[in-house]
Copies of this chain bind each other. A is one copy, B any other.
Amino acid sequence: MATMLEVAKLAGVSKATVSRVLTGNGYVGQETKDRVWQAIEECGYRPNLLARNLATKRTQTLGLVVTNTLYHGVYFSELLFHAARMTENQGRQLILADGKHSAEEERAAIQYLLDMRCDGIIIYPRFLSVDEIDELIQQHEQPVLVLNRRLRRNLSHCVYCDQARTSQNAVEKLIQQGHRDIAFITGSLDSPTGIERLSGYKAALAEHNIPLQDALIVDGKWTPATGSAGVDTLLDRGVSFSALVASNDDMAIGAMKQLQSRGLRVPEQVSVVGFDDIALAPYMMPSLSSVKIPVTEMIQEIIHRLIFMLDGGEFKPQPSFLGELIARDSLGAGPQG
């Protein structure tokens, strides 16, 4: 490939002048400028970004680490779509690294982006603990921001949704509709999100003096299959419920199908609510409701903050985000039709 030196020779100037023409830094006569551009065209010169970035110590890239398990489905698409769009609006490039499915691989992905000298990094952690992340942030000079976790020491470096409060609000809405027997399928309880959504459910019941029935709670692991298994468990226990909250949409969908195949009508006999917003996609049947987490706003906020930090700003901690229950046909009924 043609380098700057060849362009310089062709135009009869020095490397320095070519560089000046390219970057716009420093004065250069109009006539030589023309000659340089012509030489560039002539030999199809393209700048080597590796060399440029090495020299300037900036790469104009933002790194994003997301776990493998999130790659499937609409949530990830939305996240990536907005992240890429916003990054490029700022004249930078987004680089995605796969966090795969273990803490070690998550660390490796982050390390790779750091070694690549990304100007800043956003992580959507799944296996790393808050403490480890907090430490990581302080070890590296590049700003490392965190999505979906409430950090302890670096509050200005995280953007998250109050999952507990969001869950509580959603369940309260069901209670206001008249539901009292509300079943709950948890997410993986090794994830903060899973834990918080469960605790929100409990808080809502407590707030309204509805006794907590352990028999109404079953464990799930985020997948449609576990949602459907959860319904089996509930029905086999012989408990009755007029509403079912699943900790994400995948499980809500699995649950709904299983309810139907066991002869229960959704939403007439059981209202089903999920989280995230697959259930709100245009191609879903309107028999499910879902709690929409504001991904777009969150990714927007985090990138704004990151850019601001890169430009040398200091950020004060911001309040957390809140999800909102989007009711579809499924919530009109109330219990027992």
Contact = CB atoms under 8 A, between A and B. Distances in A.
A114 B45 CA distance: 12
Nearest to A139: B44
A74 to B, nearest CB: 7
A81 B76 CA distance: 11
Contact of A50 (B50, B74, B139, B284): B50
A132 to B, nearest CB: 15
A49 B117 contact: yes
A13 interface: no
Contact of A1 (B93, B141, B282, B285): B141
A141 B2 CA distance: 12
A192 interface: no
A79 to B, nearest CB: 10
Nearest to A260: B285
A72 B68 contact: no
Contacts of A131: none
A229 interface: no
A253 to B, nearest CB: 4
A116 interface: yes
Contacts of A117: 48-50
A326 to B, nearest CB: 17
Interface string A21-59: 000000000000000000000001011111101100001
A96 B98 contact: no
Stoichiometry, copies per complex: 2
Contacts of A336: none
B71 A72 contact: no
A81 B77 contact: no
A164 interface: no
A52 to B, nearest CB: 9
A119 to B, nearest CB: 12
Most chain B CB atoms below 10 A, which of A47, A59, A96: A96
Interface in A89-116: 93-98, 100, 111-112, 114-116
Contacts of A84: 68, 71, 96, 98
A63 to B, nearest CB: 11
Contacts of A71: 77, 80-81, 84
A329 interface: no
A115 B49 contact: yes
A55 to B, nearest CB: 9
A181 interface: no
A95 B59 CA distance: 14
A284 B288 CA distance: 12
Contacts of A76: 77
A51 B53 CA distance: 9
21 contacts: A47-B115, A48-B115, A48-B117, A49-B116, A50-B117, A51-B54, A68-B84, A71-B77, A71-B84, A72-B81, A73-B77, A77-B77, A84-B96, A88-B98, A88-B100, A95-B95, A95-B96, A224-B283, A250-B282, A250-B283, A254-B283
